[in-house]
Amino acid sequence: MRQAKYRKIFWLVLLLELVLLHFVLMFRLYVLRWTYPQVQSLNILLPIWAAGAGLLLLWQLGSYQIFRRKAIAAAKPVEESWVHSACGQAASEVGLGRTPDLYQSAAVTTPMILGFISPVMLIPDTRYSYGELRMVFLHECTHAKRRDLWYKLIFTLGSCIFWFQPAVWFLKNAAFKDVEVACDQSVTMERSEVERDTYAKFLLASLRRGRERTKAYSAYFYNNKAVMRARLQVVTREQEPGVWTGLAAFALLTAELVVCVGIFGIAVRRDVREENYQQEAAVNLYLGLDAPDSFSDTAIKKMTGLQPVDGESYYDWRMSAMEQYPETEWADMKEAVDGPWQLRVKTQASYLDSVSDFVYRYIMYYEDPERGSAYNPEESSGYNTLEVIDRTLLAGDADEYVCRLLFRDIVWADEKPEKDLPVEGKSYEENGTEYRYNDWAVHVKRVGEYTYELVGVAETSRVLAAMEEVYPEDAETAYASLPTLDLKQQPSGQATVRDGVPEVSWNGGADWTEVPVSLEKLTERGDEMDGQLSGIQEKSYVVSETMTAFAYGGSRTVPVSVTFSPDKGKNWKTIVVTNEAVSVRRLFLSFPDAEHGFLIFTGDRTMHQEGSSIYRTEDGGENWFEVKPEQGYSQSGGHSLLTGAAFVTAETGFVTGGDGCYRTEDGGRSWEPVYMELPAVDCAESYTVCYPPEVQDEKLVLYLGMQEYSELGGTKLRYESTDQGQTWTYTGVVYRR
């Protein structure tokens, strides 16, 4: 006799196959959407699927809750000892470790097991003989021992999630039937004909009076007519019940598997052919060719042969070029390119668009020729890893030009190049990933109606210096507003949050130590700045060789506090600075040396105004006292929102914000405004937001930014001071990174 318990396993394997098949299909569609945009139109199917699955899941959950409450409300413990004896004997006979609790409920019409964690036995308010109850209990205890409720729940969830798939409904029906058949086979195995006949009669009687539908969250003694008929066939040994439903599901899944494997196989084979084609092209694209004249005096001399232009930005020249040159359809271009140093543009108006493509090809010439050969911007194949920061036309026109390209290139930890570029830009590493910044002048010439060729590459600073020598008047005016790169110096002391835990490092991130303050406390503020902080607030902490400290709090539940360690995390101490501030917005902490520290925090914000307080320590954070300014940086205690505050010595400090920059040289008791002359550059009057000075190479450096930019991003006016901020010298427009 074919055992239903083996078919149960087979149906479960088929369900897992169905799940795997659909996830592979979805992953393939996700990948294809990058190559074939039309696949994205299938996104409309996602909300339809989610709606169907959600409704079915809610219906199942609601049905369970309604039935459970109804059954429990009508349940009462069974008092007859002989009923408990029959249940205990059945549990012992099938090997069930714990006898289910017995209840009688008028809300059920057939015996059942209910509950996933601690199953209970429910019997209807009907009189049964000892023999009938014994067979019922044997059946239901077998369900409990085999965890059949969980088995049915798996198929129910599968039918809810894959409601659109007919095969899963076939599998569910076959699995539910074999759950009951397998249980009956186990109960009647090695029973006498008399016992089998008694059991069959009881099944037949149950069939006549049963009205309940099979549910995934319970195991009923009575099932629907088709299942009961199959059970009778097994008990009476007439024949093994049919498995046509399951076989239909198997056939449907097999057909789907064959079709999908065929489709995936064709797609993979096509991808392999394309990859092999690209690899063949990669072998030959640079073969026998040298790089264009680069980073040499001759390359710079060729560039200075072109007349400087007024430093047109990408958007400026784009608009003017679109007015000058008509649009041309891509299909109309018949020109061919010759080698990696030629590229084709879509229209003459987009002649500067090829600059980043040329630079990428140039970099790959040295670092990864195969990747560079596979890169084809016309077909959007390959992957250009350059992040363009600035693209500005320096000289020439659409026929021949020099374009400045300020860009960043990311080199992942597992992709270190074998051969470096001829020049080194600015770079830093973080977690094994190298971020490289370069500032190049790119010389390009038109060699066809829509085809351009790379002539040479040089460092922008050298090209600008040469331009100023050849065209002193024109170059000085044209490049006055050209921004240069200004990378923030990476301190060796850092703080971060990893897996929700604040940590600190004193060696540039090589090793990390946990900070003994929860992230919830470090981000607690009375004024949540229009949204809860998600990480440690910048400038609210200090990490140095002599002092590590974190300032936080300023609400009704967490007072303004400082947790500090003078010995690099070996010992920590927490001091409450004040309990009175309950609406703090930001905290700015400074320790110019191991003994002297300053904490300036803002609060009581109204619109774009707020107040602030200054606290000072002279014993390394053990005691803090408030500093009352005699001459403050605000009127009547109010001022514009502060962007920062920092002390560079035990007496000299700065506060910055919308009101400008203020300086003190007596520890915060008196403040004077700092005046900086605006340069003669475009939109200089828009740089209205000041940020606190930083110490760089024994100088103080201060930045003015626009309101919509943060401190580390966008264009800034840069100033330097060599006298602790008494006077400032403008040094140029920079991109702050």
Residue of 630, 632, 644 lying closest to 712 (CA atoms) = 644
Inter-residue contact 664 to 681 (CB < 8 Å): no
**Mean pLDDT computed over 418-437:** 81
Return the DSSP state at 595. S
pLDDT beyond 50 at 594:
yes
User: Locate tokens 């840069």: which residue?
Assistant: 718
Instruction: Name the amino acid, one letter, at 262.
Output: G
Is pLDDT larger for residue 168 or for residue 708? Answer: 168
Average pLDDT over residues 581-605: 94
Q: What is the spatial distance between Cα 523 and Cα 515, in angstroms, rounded to a whole number?
A: 13
Yes or no: say if 659 and 633 are a contact pair by the CB < 8 Å rule.
Answer: yes
Instruction: Indicate if the pLDDT at residue 213 is higher than 60.
Output: no
Q: Which helix (H) or strand (E) holds 501?
A: strand 501-505
Q: Which one is predicted more confidently, 160 or 637? A: 160
Separation CA 273–CA 285 (nearest Å): 18
Structure tokens at 386: 């350059």
Q: Please name every residue paired with 439 in a beta bridge, in sequence order, or none if there are none.
A: 406
Q: How far apart are CA 143 and CA 49, in angstroms?
A: 33
Higher pLDDT, 392 or 32: 392
The yes-or-no verdict on residue 222 having pLDDT over 50 is: no
Local structure of residue 631 (DSSP, 8 states): B
Tokens of 630: 């005699």
Q: How far apart are CA 437 and CA 441, in angstroms?
A: 14
Contact criterion met (CB below 8 Å) for 576 and 514: no
Contact criterion met (CB below 8 Å) for 593 and 556: no
Q: What is the pLDDT of residues 474-490, one digit of tens each?
A: 777 778 788 888 888 77
For residue 681, is pLDDT > 70?
Answer: yes
Using the predicted structure, report yes or no on whether residue 438 has a pLDDT greater than 60. yes
Regarding predicted confidence, which is higher, 202 or 52?
52
Residue 184 near residue 223 (C-beta atoms within 8 A): no
Rounded average pLDDT over 130-147 = 80
Q: Which of 499, 501, 524, 525 is nearest to 514 (CA)?
A: 501
Task: Give the integer Cα–Cα distance in Å for 556 and 527.
Answer: 11
Quote the DSSP letter at residue 38.
G
Of 150-154, 398-402, 579-583, 727-731, give the lowest mean pLDDT range: 150-154
Please list the residues that pair with 587 across neighbouring strands. 601
Q: Could you tell me which of 105, 136, 101, 107 has the C-alpha nearest to residue 121?
A: 101
pLDDT for residue 229: 61
Q: What is the pLDDT of residues 691-707, one digit of tens each?
A: 899 988 889 999 998 86
pLDDT averaged over every residue in the chain: 80
The mean per-residue pLDDT over the stretch 498-527 comes to 92
Q: List Cβ neighbours of 631 (8 Å cut-off, separation of 6 or more).
A: 669, 670, 671, 672
Residue-level pLDDT at 509: 83
Q: Which residues, other chains included, contact 485 with Cβ-Cβ below 8 Å and sequence gap of 6+?
A: 389, 406, 426, 437, 439, 734, 735, 737
DSSP alpha helix (H) spans, 146-224: 148-161, 166-188, 193-209
Q: Higher-confidence residue: 203 or 390? A: 390
Q: Is-contact 533 539, C-beta < 8 A?
A: no
The sheet carrying 513-514 orders its strands as: 494-498, 501-505, 513-514
Tokens 């002599």 -> residue: 546
Give the residue, 81 or 225, on which the prediction is more confident. 81
Which single residue is written with the structure tokens 């107040």? 611
Statement: residue 155 has pLDDT above 80:
yes
94-123 pLDDT, tens per residue?
888 788 888 888 777 777 877 777 788 888
Residues 123-127: contacts with CB under 8 Å, at least 24 apart? 123/78, 123/83
Q: Which amino acid, residue 465?
A: A
Helix or strand (DSSP H, E) at 230: helix 225-235
Give the total residue count for the chain.
Answer: 737
- Three-state secondary structure string covering 103-139: EEECCCCCCEEECCCCCEEEEECCCCCHHHHHHHHHH
Residue-level pLDDT at 571: 95
The full DSSP string for 404-436 is EEEEEEEE-TT---SS--SS--EEEEETTEEEE
Q: Give start and end residues of each alpha helix (H) in 471-610.
A: 472-478, 519-522
Q: Of residues 716 and 277, which shows the higher confidence score? A: 716
Burial of residue 257 (number of CB atoms within 10 Å: 0-12, 13-18, 19+): middle
- What is residue 216's predicted lDDT score, i.e. its pLDDT? 47
Task: Give the pLDDT confidence score for residue 513 in this predicted structure.
Answer: 94
Percent of the chain with pLDDT over 90: 29
Dihedrals phi, psi of 673, to nearest 5 degrees:
-70, 145
How high is the pLDDT of residue 579?
93
Angle between helices 45-73 and 148-161 (to 10 degrees): 150
Q: For position 281, what pLDDT does the model report?
A: 46
Q: Contacts from 491-497 at CB under 8 Å and sequence distance 24+? A: 491/543, 493/542, 493/543, 493/544, 493/545, 493/548, 494/543, 495/536, 495/541, 495/543, 495/550, 496/535, 496/536, 497/535, 497/536
The listed range with the strongest mean pLDDT (162-166, 248-252, 645-649) is: 645-649
The per-residue pLDDT for 376 is: 80
Which residue bears the tokens 């920079």?
A: 734
Q: Name the token pair of 619.
A: 């014993």
27-36 contacts at long range (C-beta below 8 A, 24 or more positions apart): 28/264, 28/267, 32/267
DSSP strand pairing (715-721 vs 729-736): antiparallel
pLDDT digits (tens, 9 = 90+) for 25-44: 666 655 555 444 544 555 66
Question: What is the structure's pLDDT at 443?
Answer: 96
Strands 699-705 and 689-696, sheet pairing: antiparallel
How large a percentage of the chain has pLDDT more than 70? 77
Q: Which domains does the chain have, with CATH numbers?
A: 293-482 (no CATH), 494-736 (2.120.10)
3-state SS assignment for residue 443: strand
pLDDT in tens, 311-352: 666 666 666 666 666 655 544 555 667 888 998 887 766 778
User: Range with the lowest mean pLDDT among 245-254, 494-503, 718-727?
Assistant: 245-254
Contact call for residues 224 and 179 (beta carbons, < 8 A): no
Question: In 3-state terms, what secondary structure has residue 737?
Answer: coil
CA distances from 75 to 72, 105, 121, 123, 510 (A): 5, 4, 11, 9, 64
CA torsion sign for 666, 667, 670, 672 is positive
Strands (E), 607-728: 609-617, 625-627, 639-640, 642-647, 653-657, 660-664, 672-674, 689-696, 699-705, 715-721
CB of 466 within 8 A of CB of 303? yes
Tokens representing 141 are 């205890």
Residues in a beta bridge with 603: 584, 611
Structure tokens at 307: 């007349």
CB 591 within 8 A of CB 544: yes
Q: What's the pLDDT at 220?
A: 46
Kind of pairing, strands 625-627 and 400-411? unpaired
Asked if the model's pLDDT at residue 611 lies above 80, the reply is yes
